[in-house]
Amino acid sequence: MTERRRHYSYTAYADPDMARTFDERRFGGTIGEYVAAEQAAVLLGFVGDVRGRTVLDVGTGTGRAAFLLAQQGAVVTGIDSSEAMLGVARRRRAELGANIRFLPGDVHALPFADRSFDVVMSLRVLMHTPYWKQSLAELCRVAGRSVIVDYPSARSLALWQSLGRRALYACGVRTEPYRVFGDAGIERAFLNQAFRVRSAHRQFVLPIAFHKALGSLPFTERSERWLEHLGLLTLCGSPVTVLAERA
């Protein structure tokens, strides 16, 4: 096993139990369903009309985003380094009768030619991948027109959760010590690949984990509207989803 493959982002998601329970833990319950619906709306708004267009979903996991765009008429390929996650996606594909290719692969070295896809998307990957700039460069390389990624903002409360997880991980606790990003760093990385960020969407001011712990959709909707009215969503909303286009 290479050093990169020993990174938690590979070992954690290779666990069959992680794959089996992934969607329920992330999108289960009222708040999870709300988060999923919000993310789907943002993604569809960014991609627009995808009928007949080729889309690559990198780090597809159980295929949630891939299925969403396939339903809109896109020709979708999903790639992931975890065979356990791909197994869940393939079983779902069989149940739904969807026409999606699910392939094993690594974001650091995508097995496709330059500009192979109209749209390339990668959600909740840069925050975990060992070498995020290399990963972003690969996403841009295989994209003909657009790249969509998301990340936790360094200006948000996710910063403190990230620091806490890193401390726990250093002490031997099994967790995912993800990184956070500044907007300028993401924009520079895209510019280095001749892409420009065209749109950005910030989802919440308060951490998703906090909303899930409370489990009250009315509180989530009211509190986030109030915080947005105060200007805090623009200042420190997270996660941030961005659309970048080839310059």
pLDDT in the model for residue 14:
87
At 207-242, the pLDDT tens digits run 999 999 999 999 999 999 999 999 999 999 999 999
At 28-79, the pLDDT tens digits run 999 999 999 999 999 999 999 999 999 999 999 999 999 999 999 999 999 9
Amino acid (one-letter) located at 179: R
Whether residue 1 has pLDDT greater than 60:
no
Q: How far apart are the first and last CA of the chain?
A: 38
As given in the structure block, the two tokens for residue 197 are 């960020």
Tally of domains within the chain: 1
Arithmetic mean of pLDDT, 109-135: 97
Arithmetic mean of pLDDT, 126-147: 97
pLDDT in the model for residue 199:
97
Q: Which residues contact 60 (CB under 8 A, 6 or more apart)?
A: 66, 78, 79, 80, 85, 86, 89, 102
pLDDT in the model for residue 185:
97
The CATH number given to whatever domain includes residue 68 is 3.40.50.150
Whether residue 203 has pLDDT greater than 60:
yes
Q: Percent of the chain having pLDDT more than 90? A: 83
Q: Is the separation of the CB atoms in 158 and 180 below 8 Å?
A: yes
Q: Is the separation of the CB atoms in 124 and 174 below 8 Å?
A: no
At 87-106, the pLDDT tens digits run 999 999 999 999 999 999 99
Domain span holding position 210: 4-246
Most confident of 2-16, 17-31, 110-124: 110-124
At 146-183, the pLDDT tens digits run 999 999 999 999 999 999 998 988 888 888 889 999 99
Whether residue 135 has pLDDT greater than 90:
yes
Whether residue 2 has pLDDT greater than 80:
no
**pTM for the whole thing?**
0.95
Q: Is the separation of the CB atoms in 149 and 136 below 8 Å?
A: yes
**Rounded mean pLDDT of the chain?**
94
pLDDT in the model for residue 175:
86
pLDDT band at 8 (very low <50, low <70, confident <90, very high): confident
Of the candidates 118, 151, 114, 146, the residue with the CA atom closest to the CA atom of residue 132: 151
**From the centroid of its chain, how far is CA 172?**
26
